[in-house]
Chains A and B, each alone.
Chain A
């Protein structure tokens, strides 16, 4: 404990007054966790699995048209935090979330709020591509069929085409829309999952290590896609690859053992980390 305080003191030396205030507010977070134009705002979020606390008082904003990356060693809680942003944690028995998470000013853990439509507004792409065992067309049309987004076949066709185009997959699959989505390559499957998510017009897209099961070429394509998607969506991405965080995100948050240690402009985090732990992780001393 004394070691953390010591590192805190060392880190605060280089901070402005505003940063100091926010650092005090969020217990240990170094840097500014707010953003000028927030889509989601999280304040003092705790996540518990039974009696084990996985996330400790994390405050973080996700801005409009930006990519926020979350990095940190395994088990640091970054995936847990991500899954609490669209209440996917509700499906885990014994998981409890306290604190405030707002989407466009609306509390998402409000008792009156139905998590099901929330998940259409906050979409999610998973670590391993998980297309449904249906045709490519049906994979993309799935959300629309559930939510009744389109009124007729022509509209649905249009939605499928535009979603696949936004995901950069259309040219590769337009001649075989009726073939199973599971027959695509790994990178194509992941883009299919992104197309499926885009098709329900979410505001925020959460990505949980979307490239960790892909080869470098497929990864490059997805990263390019993420950059394009930023025009229309807010994106929060969990990644194990620091290079990826540096390439795709505007802001980076470093998690360690359930604490949000440091957050800031991606450039600044990677070139001039303030906190000892962040520096150690980025320079490869552990993790």
Chain B
């Protein structure tokens, strides 16, 4: 039986509970004419009943679905004969279990079907059926029980309005907890995997080593698998690409923000601002192949024309395109803070005989500077975390170089390559990705915190 039918059924029960709750409230008050003796509007009693019918049963259903498979599987394995399982790894037992499941649901199986497997599959199917039916019964019973509880509770003095509101509040708290806990979970998982990595490779080597070559020998006699995990080349590569990006984005973004907020007529502004913001909506992968296929060759040809050796994948190409991508961040945030500078500042400056550009240079920009710096820091953390453009345009070679015409690699690129390899999951190579991710996360987190506190401080100044 499909779970969604049960969900539809639950919704129907909730609808019925809503109607019944309303009727019950009205009749307990003594009819329509005495409806004002109720504490809350009748609809609140209906909602109260519907929530009692719906929420506990849905919770039970979620838990049941979450654990049913595991319980059934353990029951089935317990019945399998020991000679099928003895001396087998956990992975192999899983494989057998998978076959049993596939057999039970009529899919293709990977092994010969022995009578024992067939019997196990039959048992599996039977248990699943029982479990499903009992879930239906249990969930519906809880739904009806909840409805009955609400029915029994409903009386004119019951504060249904307050109770419904506190249930809604609870739902909102749970939603925000989910967001927070997910973040926490990600951080912790990255942290623990990083700690495993640092047990294999010393943090000293990771943070200060200058050679990055994450190939670990899979066999003892393998060549060219030294396994060096010095992340300095990645950090410098990231820094260089981000620096180039900021060199592009900050002047262009800031100037366009000043033009748009101070000089442009309303008409031009209405067109130009959304167009600039479209830049932020282009998928980064599009920027990536623009960088790799258009910008990088142009730079290489230009370099060749003036006698410079330019790698076909260069930090310059990736940085330039990333800079273009970041322009809207800088310009949009700067535009906001420049607009937030009160008109009275401009008036004060004009009234002293200052021109518009003097006013902008000497009053508006200094007044908006904290906010602009905050915007730039946010843009930097965006640049550091950007992946797709550098994957496609900056290259893979972990060169420790200060030459922007050379190919470099960044932290994000290496995370991608480390995790798309064919290494087992607990090797140093794979775990290095977590250490890199953690470093990246800490850097951007710090930047964001600084940026937000600067922006907030600035906002307080004028309000």
Q: Give A contacts to B, CB under 8 Å.
A: 86, 88, 91, 93, 116-121, 123-126, 128, 130-134, 142-143, 145-147, 182, 193, 196-197, 200
Given contacts A133-B461, A146-B362, contact A197 B345 (CB under 8 A): no
Residues of B within 8 A of A86 (CB): 351
Report the Cα distance A62→B362, complex, angstroms: 32
Residues of A within 8 A of B366 (CB): 132-134
- Of the A-B pairs whose beta carbons lie under 8 Å apart in the complex, a sample of 20, sorted by A's number, is A88-B351, A91-B346, A93-B266, A116-B354, A119-B353, A121-B353, A123-B352, A126-B347, A126-B348, A130-B345, A130-B347, A132-B349, A133-B366, A142-B352, A142-B363, A143-B352, A146-B352, A146-B353, A182-B461, A196-B348
Nearest Cβ on chain B to A155's Cβ, whole angstroms = 18
A88 pairs with B352, CB closer than 8 A:
no
Nearest Cβ on chain B to A85's Cβ, whole angstroms = 11
A139 (CB) vs chain B CBs: closest residue: B348
A123 pairs with B363, CB closer than 8 A:
no
Nearest Cβ on chain B to A116's Cβ, whole angstroms = 5
Residues of B within 8 A of A123 (CB): 351-352
Contact of B114 with A by CB under 8 A: no
Residues of A within 8 A of B345 (CB): 130, 132-133
Residues of A within 8 A of B349 (CB): 132, 142
Nearest Cβ on chain A to B327's Cβ, whole angstroms = 27
Residues of A within 8 A of B351 (CB): 86, 88, 119, 123-126, 197
Within 8 A of A (CB), among B319-366: 342, 344-355, 358, 362-363, 366
A91 pairs with B352, CB closer than 8 A:
no
B342 (CB) vs chain A CBs: closest residue: A130
List the count of A-B residue pairs having beta carbons below 8 Å apart: 70
Report the Cα distance A189→B68, complex, angstroms: 72
Nearest Cβ on chain B to A180's Cβ, whole angstroms = 10
Nearest Cβ on chain A to B141's Cβ, whole angstroms = 67
Report the Cα distance A193→B351, complex, angstroms: 11
Nearest Cβ on chain A to B361's Cβ, whole angstroms = 10
Contact of B367 with A by CB under 8 A: yes
Could you say which interface size class chain B belongs to?
A: 20 to 34
Residues of B within 8 A of A142 (CB): 349, 352, 354, 362-363
Report the Cα distance A193→B362, complex, angstroms: 16
Residues of A within 8 A of B362 (CB): 142, 145-146
Residues of A within 8 A of B353 (CB): 116-121, 143, 146-147, 200
A196 pairs with B344, CB closer than 8 A:
no
Residues of B within 8 A of A143 (CB): 352-354
Residues of B within 8 A of A116 (CB): 353-355
Given contacts A88-B351, A119-B353, contact A146 B367 (CB under 8 A): no
A126 pairs with B350, CB closer than 8 A:
no
Nearest Cβ on chain A to B96's Cβ, whole angstroms = 73
B363 pairs with A132, CB closer than 8 A:
yes
Report the Cα distance A133→B345, complex, angstroms: 9
Residues of A within 8 A of B266 (CB): 93
Which of B354, B362, B461 has its CB near the most chain A CB atoms (within 10 A)? Answer: B354
Residues of B within 8 A of A124 (CB): 347, 351
Nearest Cβ on chain B to A107's Cβ, whole angstroms = 18
Residues of A within 8 A of B348 (CB): 126, 130-132, 193, 196
Report the Cα distance A146→B360, complex, angstroms: 12
Nearest Cβ on chain A to B260's Cβ, whole angstroms = 16
Report the Cα distance A132→B361, complex, angstroms: 13
Residues of B within 8 A of A147 (CB): 353
**Additional 10 contacts, C-beta under 8 A, given A132-B348, A132-B349, A200-B353:** A116-B353, A116-B355, A119-B351, A120-B353, A123-B351, A126-B351, A130-B348, A132-B366, A142-B352, A143-B354
Report the Cα distance A131→B347, complex, angstroms: 11
Residues of B within 8 A of A193 (CB): 348
Given contacts A130-B347, A133-B366, A142-B362, contact A119 B352 (CB under 8 A): yes
A120 pairs with B352, CB closer than 8 A:
yes
A123 (CB) vs chain B CBs: closest residue: B351
Contact of A146 among B344, B358, B461 (CB under 8 A): B358
Which of B349, B351, B366, B461 has its CB near the most chain A CB atoms (within 10 A)? Answer: B351
A206 (CB) vs chain B CBs: closest residue: B351
The 0/1 profile, CB within 8 Å of A marked 1, for residues 201-213 of chain B is: 0000000000000
A133 pairs with B350, CB closer than 8 A:
no
A200 (CB) vs chain B CBs: closest residue: B352
Nearest Cβ on chain A to B356's Cβ, whole angstroms = 9
Report the Cα distance A134→B349, complex, angstroms: 12
Residues of B within 8 A of A118 (CB): 353
The 0/1 profile, CB within 8 Å of A marked 1, for residues 358-384 of chain B is: 100011001100000000000000000
Report the Cα distance A133→B461, complex, angstroms: 9
Report the Cα distance A157→B349, complex, angstroms: 20
The list of the 3 closest CB pairs from A to B, nearest first, reads A120-B353, A124-B351, A130-B344
Residues of B within 8 A of A120 (CB): 352-353
Report the Cα distance A117→B353, complex, angstroms: 5
Which of A86, A118, A120, A133 has its CB near the most chain B CB atoms (within 10 A)? Answer: A133
Nearest Cβ on chain B to A90's Cβ, whole angstroms = 9
A126 pairs with B367, CB closer than 8 A:
no
Nearest Cβ on chain B to A68's Cβ, whole angstroms = 18
